Structure 1
Amino acid sequence: MWKITNNFHTHTSRCGHAFGEDEEYVVAAIKAGIKVLGFSDHTPWPNISQRRIRMDEEMLGNYVKSINFLKEKYKDIIDIHLGLEVEYIDEFVPFYKKIKEEYGIEYFILGQHGEVDENGPYFYNQFANNKEMASRYVEQVIKGMESGLFKYVAHPDHFLNGYRINDYFIESQMRQICQKSLELNIPLEVNLTYPRIAIMQGGVHNGLDAYPFDKFWKIVGEYGCPVVFGIDAHEPDNLLLDYSDEIRYMIETFKLNVVGL
């Protein structure tokens, strides 16, 4: 009942901070009993190289070729899909649409980590307890949801890693995301990265210190937003861990409206 059988959040070594061969992820997913595996490595940005964060644009063709090969090879065993994890940035939208059509990308997930300004790329969480950055994050997530480009929002509470003050301001920001998710019926992802770290260390995830943040998912449950779970796999073995205790805790504690496991 608490087992993940659909995971659309899987990375590859091309992003520079994930490990393992593409096929190793597929083999691990099959072993774990996953029925649907979506690859969604970090999208390239046009004319910007961030080799520890995302693939360069010239690597995209190899990524697509590899995933499509595996999709065909394992088609009778597991359902594989080709996607990308993408930040919503206004000026990059034409590029995103272009590569989606040109390479036959099936889906984007919205993983809003940062943007680019005149000084280059930056992360929202570089700026501790910064209201402007928190607001900017929420503004871009909402624009992304409204764009129609995205299957779901990955780690929607990511910005709370940077904004640690519990105040009316941050509650209003969280509610804006939930309201838009409900309005547009776009799922919000419970990201299992930090629960995974806790499991691997023999502990239990603390929803006060890292996402999924309890305070955010309490509001999600209150609104009844559609919810999915994402393993956010960066190594094949990430797919083999037992996440059932965390999944049960999140669903039962916050009465989440889960639309697919």
Structure 2
Amino acid sequence: MKFDLHTHHFRCGHADGNIEDYIVAGIDAGLKVIGISDHSPFFYHDEDQPFPGIAMATSDLHHYVEEVLRLKRKYEGRIEVLLGMESDYFAEHADVYREAYRDIPFDYLIGSVHQVRGVSIFNRNRWKKLDEAGHVVEKETYYDLIKQSARSGMFDILGHIDAMKGYYPAFSAIPAADSIDDCLRTIGECGVSIEINTSGSTKDVGGWYPSDDILERALHFGVNVTFGSDAHIPGRVGDEWELVAKRLKEIGFKQWLFYRQRQPVIVPL
């Protein structure tokens, strides 16, 4: 059963197409299940849409939910449409986000760390100011935030857990194995999944998030996995799904999963 849980659309300000475009692309790609998971609003901010090129307006959230639920009904029998969201994780604002999601009938929530110390994880300039020890601290801080997001109880899936390498491939070589293992151990204990996210192919690093060595460690710690293209254009829906499935089987995974009504649905590999 082919599925994709990570897709975006025009509301976030940096993706092309509307929700229906992605659903139709999913049907064309042979998907049986597609999750719509646009970027969460900045709920803690006084402004309705403080960063229009990054995330939707808070006032647009109910339109987003209504549209996904309408399309879920429209395409029933052709493809299963799931209501999700890629939520920023800010430890200091977790309660604000938790309350914003309380009454929404999500099928799943993806928790993603997009900022460390107030700077985007994709900002390659952060590394120029740091010595070797500073590099290690930055990576350890990133994985500590991911660990906190797992413990928060808010999320079903954690998004792109080594995406800090996106525009800085040398990130993978920064020594922080203990922090990564501690993070993966926590994720496994909390019963949260990680996604194999194929959008790394659109960044300098190429390839997927996370790297094979992290996936091997994830298997060791009993972490479940799922799939997300992180498509920002309809043409990337389901991108490299078959290749990811093949690689997971080579690593030793027997199954992956998606979520319906916040409950895991197991798909054999």
For normalisation by structure 1, the TM-score amounts to: 0.82
Q: Counterpart in 2 of 1:186?
A: 192
- 1:166 counterpart (173, 179, 183): 173
CA shift for structure 1 position 165? 5.9
Q: Give unmatched runs, 5+ long, in structure 1.
A: 199-204
Instruction: Say if 1:24 and 1:236, in contact at 8 Å, map to a contact too.
Output: yes
In structure 2, C-alpha distance between the alignment counterparts of 1:212 and 1:148, rounded to whole Å: 22
**1:245 positional shift:** 2.6
**1:144 aligned to which of 146, 149, 152:** 149
Mapped partners of 1:257, 1:174: distance in 2 = 23
Deviations 1:142-193 (A, max 9, x none): 11111111011111122344562635x4111211221112212221111111
Equivalent residue number for residue 15 of structure 1: 12
What's the CA shift string for 1:194-243, capped at 9, x where partnerless?
24x49xxxxxx965xx6332332232233342111211111111126453
- The answer to whether the 8 A contact 2:8-2:232 is kept is yes
Matches within 5 A, 1:1-261: 5-46=2-43, 47=45, 49-114=50-115, 121-126=118-123, 127-128=126-127, 130-161=135-166, 162=168, 164=171, 166=173, 169-195=175-201, 197=202, 211-239=209-237, 241-252=239-250, 254-260=251-257
- The 2-side partners of 1:242 and 1:97 are apart by 33
In the TM superposition, residue 103 of structure 1 has moved relative to its aligned partner by 3.8
Distance 1:213 1:249 in 2: 11
The alignment's C-alpha RMSD in Å is 2.5
Distance 1:17 1:214 in 2: 28
Alpha-carbon contact 1:221-1:257 (below 8 Å) kept: no
Q: Using the alignment, how far apart are the partners of 1:69 and 1:251 within structure 2?
A: 36
Q: 1:133 to 1:239 in 2, by over 3 A?
A: same
Runs (4+) of structure 1 moved beyond 6 Å? Answer: none
Q: Percent identity?
A: 26
Equivalents in 2 of 1:240, 1:217: separation in Å? 20
